[in-house]
Amino acid sequence: MSKPIVSDSCIGCGTCEAVCPAVFKVEEVAGKMIAAVQLADYDGEKEKIDEAIAACPVQAISWE
């Protein structure tokens, strides 16, 4: 099973969290706001994850 990953180019805008809150959560990591991937049923959320990938303004999300 593949899972979504977020690259270092993430700007912490929160779009992915708004689209798919079951999988993405914006958190502060080392003083920077970035999206983190939560443990979830990635297969069950595939459509929403794909929507979040398409909506990311800096293309920071992809499938592993």
**CATH 1.10.150.120 matches 4-63:** no
Per residue in 11-23, pLDDT tens? 999 999 999 999 9
Verdict on whether the full-model pTM lies above 0.85: yes
Q: Are 49 and 4 in contact (CB under 8 A)?
A: yes
Least Cα distance to 35 among 55, 18, 10, 4 occurs for: 10
Q: How confident is the model at residue 57 (pLDDT cuts 50, 70, 90)?
A: very high
Q: How confident is the model at residue 1 (pLDDT cuts 50, 70, 90)?
A: low
Rounded to a whole number, what is the largest CA-CA distance in the chain?
Answer: 32
Kindly list the domain boundaries of the chain, sorted by start residue.
4-63
